Amino acid sequence: MPRIAVSVAGLWRSPQAPRTLDAPALAAPVQLERWLAALDDDTRLTLCRDKLLVSQVLFDTPVQVLERATDAAGREWCRVVVPSQTSALDPRGYPGWLPAAQLAEDVDEAEGGVEGEVVVTAPRTELVVTSPQRGRPEADRLALSFMTRLRRLAVTPTHVEVISPLGRGWLPRNSVRLAETPLPADAATLTRLGRHFEGLRYLWAGNSSFGYDCSGLVHSLFAAVGIALPRDAGDQLASGTPVALEARRAGDLLYFEKPGASGRLVVDHVGLYLGDDTLLHAPTNNARVERRRLSGSHYAEQLCAVRRHLG
């Protein structure tokens, strides 16, 4: 399977969905921070209102290409599914479109001497490319998101050597864990990891530590402790063990509903319960990841379901 060859690739509704101001997010190498800095409240809201962006995919993630198309500017696009992001939209994985330039064919793992994987546990880290893959841009440094998985070649006390679509490189040892040594799947670990992202600005369809939406945040936190959740809140609601609202405990996922366009109540939000009447969540467009009390808030009125995945 081809793999993502940029820090974070946006998964778009269609090749026509991106606006002129989204060009930095379509580049290879991607100019993610430049793109985010240029988005104001209104242009961020449009991503959500018009469902322009549907998800994000992290560096080196395998995807399956279903078809190709060319947009009006001559840019080649690929319609893909992402097997690591399960969704009711497609049994093969989350579907969407991304620029073909943000993909690369896989390297030969046997030839490369891959001995396992590492997972980024720092909020962000940096990949230093030492031996670029033939035909790829010679970007010598690449910012990587929390939960990026890379194929491991060797480990030293200070660095981990990896192979990726850009070639061979290394990461700081203290920013990753070996994939075969998972973190404890408990509420304390989820809380500790989640608090790293307090203050991070919400991004519709965000699934990286450059910006999360509500379901992207919990999807990533649970993946960090070895629990695979579906990508979207509605699908997440169908997983886990149902728990009575009053029986909730730290580590549970809380779901919230409000009237949709038709007036019917729909589940449109999810957050991580920390215990002690406290919710950690990515609230809404133009807000930031926060901890807050449930009591006395509109969230207490909208709480409709609890799901348990721990224990």
Q: Could you list the active site residues?
A: 214, 269, 281
CA-nearest of 94, 126, 41 to 235 is 94
Residue 29 has phi, psi (to 5 degrees) of -65, 150
For Cα atoms 97, 100, 101, give the angle at the middle one, nearest 5 degrees.
130
Residue 240 has phi, psi (to 5 degrees) of 80, 180
Helix (H, G, I), strand (E, B) or coil at 295: coil
**Bridge partners of 167?**
132, 164
**Bridge partners of 96?**
80
CA-nearest of 19, 30, 311, 50 to 189 is 311
CA distance 146 to 121: 6
**Bridge partners of 141?**
128
CA distance 214 to 289: 9
CA distance 163 to 154: 10
CA-nearest of 275, 299, 276, 295 to 287 is 299
Structure tokens at 49: 């209102």
